[in-house]
Structure 1
Amino acid sequence: MESKGTNLQIMDLPSSTLQERQAHAELLLNLEAKKIASTIDVPTLPHEIQQSLRSIGQPIRLFGENNANVRDRLRLCLAKIEVQKKTGGVMDMDVDEEEEEDFHPSHFKESQKEEVQYTRASQDLIQARTFIAQYSIEKARQRLTTERKRKWVNRSSDLMTLLPDMKKEDEATISKEIQELNDSCQNRYNHIKELALEGSQYGDGRPLSTIATGRQPFASKHPCLVATGGWTGSIKLWNGSSSALDLLCTKAMAHEDRIMSVAMYQSNQEKIQLASASIDLTGKLWNVKHGEDVSMDQEQSSAYKIEEVATLKGHAARLCKVAYHPSGRFVGTTSFDHTWRLWDVEAGGKELLLQDGHWKEVYGIGFHQDGSLVSTTDYGSVVQVWDLRSGKSVCHFMGHAKRVLCTEFAPNGFQLATAGDDGTIKVWDLRQRKQYASIPAHSRLITQIKFAHNQYDQNGEYLVSSSFDGTGKVWSTRNWKLLSTLRGHEGKVMGIDVLDGTDSGIVTCGYDKTMKIWR
């Protein structure tokens, strides 16, 4: 300030001084907030804490925070708000009115505009979504046409209105088809009730953690193939058509650490592919070669060979599950880094999509039979359903009491089954977006669920589940009643799947290092 006669000239404070005053005011605010923080009541449930943080404009979780840290941060934020209300938002009483307005926290909040930001999709992702849209539309058209005919075949008065192109001969054919379907289902249920242990085989030197079978096409030259992965990091291929479960080939040290999940895809062109996920932060893609494709210098008695194609790198934490898209062109992986990712198989395992949206570790993943949707589950008991054609979350389900570990779409296209730590299997109706059925299936954690789905059972007439209670179980999808209980493992059953083809059956793997086949 300068004085000359009666003229006064007021000069602005330098920016450094303003910053120091602002820092001093913030320090006083923190000190006062810490004094009263212990008197502030905050929610205890995670979802209530999350809602409270969102209501005051705070992030729901910072890097490295656990649940206790998040709750403490919420308490401190609420204490700051309380102090600001009592002091009018100013802790430094020497600040004049003009500067007070500058330092008031509400001034900064008003200046920040809330905007929804989107990340532009890459050209590869756009092309992938175009392919998925074309693929899923055709698959959905075929499925819905069959469903519509079966639904209205017994309503002759409405038949010509709803299906004008349908002839009387077609009506008779469909009626016969429905009757054959019902008879076949009843026969299958009778066989399932008589399931017995047919064979058992030691699969590895350490516990087996996952098992998978392929969807065998018509007139396949291959036997029913079974792939296993375990704690040694090795992948093995077995002959599921044999009660002895003969070993076909081994890929030793496929991963540097435990394998958590293996998936198999078998195309109509007899091409066999494998995908694996491990806690070593990587996933891998494999080709299964057979016959003339296997070089003669291989020191193995079998004509099968597992060959690495690509390594899927990008996740920041251990991987949990891997699944193939119905087209076989893509795979999805989940991870403890709270994300799931989509990879292009034909492009050598290139990452197409990194999708967050879960606030806890993401575990289960499953693709819809049409290829349009994908479901993911997390440790926060949340089930998310995503539209692969747009990248949006179309709905979510909350009903499990604990972690949700596995998810599977029903072959009928409008049901989703999930299971996890609470020992229950829940079935959700995708059309009405609500719970359809809840099955108290097991007394302990459920590790895997699978619908029957092949050319002999395209409607998924039964569902299989495995659990830490030492059993596998088979459930009717018509009334969700128990059909059979599979007892034979000594301890936890880690995985279960359905064998395809004429040699249909069920395979399981366990913590006891064995795999078993039931027919």
Structure 2
Amino acid sequence: MGDDQVYFGSLEHSINDGGARLDNAILSGNVNISTVESETLELAQASVEEQERHAETLRELEVKRRERSLTVPTDDGEVKLQLRALGHPICLFGEREADRRNRLRTLLARIEVDSDEHAKIKELLGNLENSSKRMRRDSTSVVGKKLRKDTFYTVAGKSLVKARRAIADFSWKHTTTRLKQQRQTQQDPDKLLEQEERILDLEDQFKTMTVYASQVGDRRPLSCCEFGGGGDQNIIGTGSFSGVGAIWERESCSKVCALHGHEDRIVDLCFRDDRAGENTLMVTASADETAKLWKVPSSKEEFETLKANSVKSMECEEQGGGEDPASEQANNEKDPEVPRVDPIGTFKGHAQRLSQISWHPIGNYVGTSSYDHTWRLWDVETTTEILLQEGHSYPVYAFAFHGDGSLALSGDLRGVTRLWDLRSGKSIDTLRGHVTQTLCADFSIDGYHVATGSGDHTARVWDLRQRRCLHVIPGHASLVSQTRFDKVTGCTLATSSFDGTCKLWTTSNLKLLSTLEAHDNKIMDMAISKTADTIMTCSYDRTWKFWGVSAYA
């Protein structure tokens, strides 16, 4: 056992012996034990704040670490459902799908780090995910059993049958008249020569176009513009991201009235062609899932009457106490000293934001396209939906009516463009060629040419008789926002783009006539007057501009 020693004795003796040694050490001063109650001092405010900042930094690091390990849904609908279940807004201003998904991931990570009810919230999200999976499984089984892959038709209502008959009568008369005029022109050498001279004169006119007027249209970017009443009235219309439209006097470029009614940005607008003795009507489409009908002034007498009525109403409001100061101040900030016009009708039915709107040539119907994968036909008199047309698997964006009223064109964000016979309700052709989304379309007055613009930076000219693409115009450095034929000869095509330019082309040989460039940002929309003497463009830089023949040409 070596040098180890074993001691024997009682425990009490050992404890007493240890206590005696401790007492001797205290007496000698080698051990100090205070019997006085100790005092604890509080930290300074700066130290407390520093500790809180340090704790917050550690918390944020932990949140970011948890974010990297979290899995969130990729479907935007499920992301919105989870945000709603957690009591948070499903969408913030300017937020896109990826931003919303990141917000959900951060929110869940913070809940894991901070919340004491983490288990309860996890159970709630689990139940939500299970119900979502069950809904998808049920919908998949229903699609597998009931979805028909062939063409099918639904029974038309009385209002749709009435509309089809009216459209058929209208289109047959106008088609007969147009074809008769074209035959007479082709058979008469003098008329043919006159037409060629008119085409050359118009080309020379387009070559010398420059900016002759520019106006700030709104406090936010402009989204659309159009000449009033077919292009020969003294008014123009604009729409903006603020959700407020405006009517302008064409000669003075002054604002006549402001159109208030939409809750989100205006994406498109269209005037009804002039009718003798009838009111000037305009429709607007918005991202708030609605379209609205407006009665707008079109003559100087109506301008003065509207202004006088506006002054009287303001005087009555001042005498009667007026409206709420906050709302009044907001209206004045939007359109100071400009009469306000309210809509006379609202078209409701689309499940998602609208894309474009077009007035049927007959004047009694309006067509709208939407992100809900459908386009719809509306009765203007009753503001009711008479046709819901499916057929696209992606959001429908481009939309236009044929000049005779017989056809409608719809283009989706996959690049598929369809032609529809409004008299029978059939899809008669599919125009395929664009690599990505079809964003705009316009029919020529000759009746058989149509132009489309796309996100693939090209415009295409199609021949409806040959059912093929005639020309591809790769003339822009960004997406094509609008395509327009002139309404005089139909032989000149204008294209506008997000590259900030508007270009004019001949449709026969794709010769570039002119490049209109003056905007500081992307061109959102473009329109040509009925006489083709003026082109109007509106831009993201909040301005609209008039282009015309230079006085020095």
- Displacement of 1:483: 0.8
Shift of 1:505: 0.6
Q: 1:323 aligns with which of 338, 348, 358?
A: 358
Q: CA deviation at 1:407?
A: 1.1
Select 2:220's aligned residue among 206, 212, 219: 206
Which amino acid in 2 is paired with 1:465? T
Query: Is the aligned partner of 1:277 residue 2:294?
Result: no
| AA of the residue aligned to 2:347 | L
8 Å CA contact 2:375–2:389 kept in 1: the answer is: yes
Which residue identity does 2:503 align to in structure 1?
A: K
CA distance in 2 between partners of 1:127 and 1:329 (Å): 12
CA displacement 1:14-37 (0-9 Å, x = unmatched) = xxxxxxxxxxxxxxxxxxxxxxxx
Match of 2:515 among 485, 505, 510: 485
Show CA shifts across 1:441-490 (max 9, x none): 2110111111111xxx1x31312111110101111123222111011000
Equivalent residue in structure 1 for 2:372, among 326, 337, 344: 337
Distance (Å, rounded) in 2 between the aligned partners of 1:466 and 1:254: 28
Matches within 5 A, 1:312-461: 312-347=347-382, 349-453=383-487, 457=488, 459-461=489-491
2:504 touches 2:513 (CA, 8 Å); kept in 1?
Answer: yes
> RMSD of aligned C-alpha atoms?
2.7
- Call closer, same or farther: CA 1:196–1:352 in 2, change over 3 Å: same
Q: How many angstroms does 1:111 deviate by?
A: 12
Residue 423 of structure 1, CA deviation: 1.1
CA distance in structure 1 between the aligned counterparts of 2:150 and 2:514, rounded to whole angstroms: 54
In 2, Cα distance between equivalents of 1:489 and 1:110: 54
SS of the aligned residue for 2:423 comes to coil
1:145-167 residue CA offsets vs partner (Å, 9 max, x unmatched): 1112223x2xxxxxxxxxxxxxx
Task: Give, in whole Å, the separation in 2 of the partners of 1:475 and 1:485.
Answer: 9
Q: Which residue of 2 aligns with 1:297?
A: 309
**Matching residue of 1:496:** 526
Deviation at residue 309 of structure 1 after TM alignment: 2.0
Question: Match of 1:469?
Answer: 499
Larger Rg: 2
Higher strand share: 1
Distance 1:287 1:305, change over 3 A: farther
The answer (yes or no) to whether the contact 1:498–1:505 under 8 Å persists in 2 is yes
Shift of 1:329: 1.2
Q: Does the 8 A contact of 1:214 with 1:500 survive in 2?
A: no
Partner Cα distance (1:322, 1:249) in 2: 21
Alpha carbons 1:288, 1:304 under 8 Å: kept: no
CA shift for structure 1 position 504: 2.4
1:104 alignment counterpart: none
CA distance in 1, matches of 2:372, 2:533: 37
Post-superposition Cα deviations, 1:200-244, rounded to whole Å, max 9, x if no partner, equal 100000000111113548xx7x42x210001010111112234xx
Matches within 5 A, 1:24-39: none
- Verify the 8 A CA contact 1:240 1:499 in the aligned structure 2: no
What amino acid sits opposite 1:463 in the alignment? L
Unaligned runs of 5+ in 1: 1-108, 154-173
Counterpart of 1:517? 546
Q: CA deviation at 1:299?
A: 2.9
User: Counterpart of 2:209 in 1: which secondary structure?
Assistant: coil
Q: Residue type of the partner of 2:214? A: S
Relative to structure 2, which stretch is displaced further, 126-135 or 468-477? 468-477
Alignment-derived partner of residue 39 in structure 2: none
Q: Taking every aligned residue pair, what percent have the same amino acid on both sides?
A: 38
| Matching of residues 48-447 of structure 1 within 5 Å | 118-151=153-186, 153=187, 174-216=188-230, 222-223=233-234, 225-242=235-252, 245-251=253-259, 253-269=260-276, 271-289=279-297, 291=301, 294=305, 296-299=308-311, 306-347=341-382, 349-447=383-481
What SS class does the counterpart of residue 191 from structure 1 fall into? helix
Runs (5+) with no aligned partner, structure 2 = 1-143, 313-335, 549-553
Deviations along 1:145-196, one digit per CA (max 9) or x if unpaired, are 1112223x2xxxxxxxxxxxxxxxxxxxx43222222112211111211111
Q: After the TM superposition, which of the residue ranges 433-442 and 296-305 deviates more from structure 2? A: 296-305
Kept in 2, the 8 Å contact 1:260–1:277? The answer is yes
Which protein is richer in helix relative to its size?
Answer: 2
Residues 73-114 of structure 1: CA deviation (Å, up to 9, x unaligned)? xxxxxxxxxxxxxxxxxxxxxxxxxxxxxxxxxxxx999999
- Going from structure 1 to structure 2, the CA distance change for 1:115 and 1:438 (only over 3 Å counts) comes to closer
Measure how far apart 1:134 and its partner are. 0.1
Give the aligned residue type for 1:142: T
* Residue 305 of structure 1: how far off its partner (Å): 7.1
1:299 corresponds to which letter in structure 2? V
What is the deviation of 1:420? 1.1
Alpha carbons of 1:112 and 1:433: their partners in 2 closer, same or farther (altered >3 Å)?
Answer: closer
Aligned in 2, Cα 1:318/1:303: closer, same or farther, shift over 3 Å? closer
* 8 Å CA contact retained: 2:230, 2:271: no
